[in-house]
Chain A
Amino acid sequence: MYDANKIIPGLVIFVGLMTFPIWAGMGKAEPVPKPKIDTPVIKEMAEKHCVESKNYMADYHMQMLITWRDKALRDGKRIYVSSSGQKYNVSLQNTCMKCHSNKKEFCDKCHNYVGVKPYCWDCHIEPIEPKGNVL
Chain B
Amino acid sequence: MSMDRREFIKVAGLSALLGVGGKGAFELLRPGELDAFEGQAPENVPAATPKIRWAITIDVRKTDNSVVQKCRGVCDYLHNVPHFDNPKDEVKWIWGDTYEHAFADGANEYMDSSLADLPFLLLCNHCDHPPCVRVCPTKATFRRPDGIVAMDYHRCIGCRFCMAACPFGSRSFNWRDPRDGLKDRKLNPEFPTRMRGVVEKCNLCVERIDKGLIPACVETCPDVLAFGNLADPNSNVRQILRTRTSLRRKIELGTEPSVFYLV
Min CB distance A33 to B, Å, is 26
CA distance A128 to B142 in the complex (A): 32
Q: Are B187's CB and A73's CB within 8 A?
A: no
Interface string of A110-135 (1 = CB under 8 A from B): 00000000010011110110000001
Chain A residues, CB < 8 A from B190: 91, 93-94
Chain A residues, CB < 8 A from B207: 78
CA distance A72 to B152 in the complex (A): 10
Residue B182 interfacial (CB < 8 Å): yes
Contact of A73 among B150, B182, B183, B191 (CB under 8 A): B150
Q: Are A78's CB and B142's CB within 8 A?
A: no
Contact of A123 among B150, B189, B195 (CB under 8 A): B195
CA distance A93 to B188 in the complex (A): 11
Residue A76 interfacial (CB < 8 Å): yes
Contact of A76 among B80, B183, B210 (CB under 8 A): B210
CA distance A123 to B207 in the complex (A): 16
Q: Are B187's CB and A123's CB within 8 A?
A: no
A interface residues, Cβ below 8 angstroms from B: 69, 72-74, 76, 78, 91, 93-94, 119, 122-125, 127-128, 135
Closest chain B residue to A70 by CB distance? B152
Contact of A125 among B142, B153, B189 (CB under 8 A): B189
Residue B70 interfacial (CB < 8 Å): no
Q: Are A135's CB and B206's CB within 8 A?
A: no
Contact of B193 among A69, A91, A125 (CB under 8 A): A125
Q: Which 4 A-B pairs have the closest CB atoms?
A: A122-B195, A123-B192, A124-B192, A78-B210
Chain A residues, CB < 8 A from B182: 135
Residue B194 interfacial (CB < 8 Å): yes
In chain B, positions 174-205 with a C-beta closer than 8 Å to chain A are 179, 182-183, 187, 189-195
Residue B61 interfacial (CB < 8 Å): no
CA distance A91 to B188 in the complex (A): 14
Contact A123 B144, CB 8 Å, known A74-B152, A135-B182: no
Chain A residues, CB < 8 A from B193: 123-125
CA distance A69 to B192 in the complex (A): 13
Residue B154 interfacial (CB < 8 Å): yes
Residue B211 interfacial (CB < 8 Å): yes
Chain B residues, CB < 8 A from A119: 195
Contact of B179 among A73, A127, A128, A135 (CB under 8 A): A135
Closest chain A residue to B193 by CB distance? A123
Write 21 A-B pairs (CB below 8 A) sorted by A numbering.
A69-B154, A72-B210, A73-B154, A74-B150, A76-B144, A76-B146, A76-B206, A76-B210, A78-B207, A93-B189, A93-B191, A94-B190, A122-B195, A123-B192, A123-B194, A124-B192, A124-B193, A125-B187, A125-B193, A128-B189, A135-B182
Chain B residues, CB < 8 A from A74: 142, 150, 152
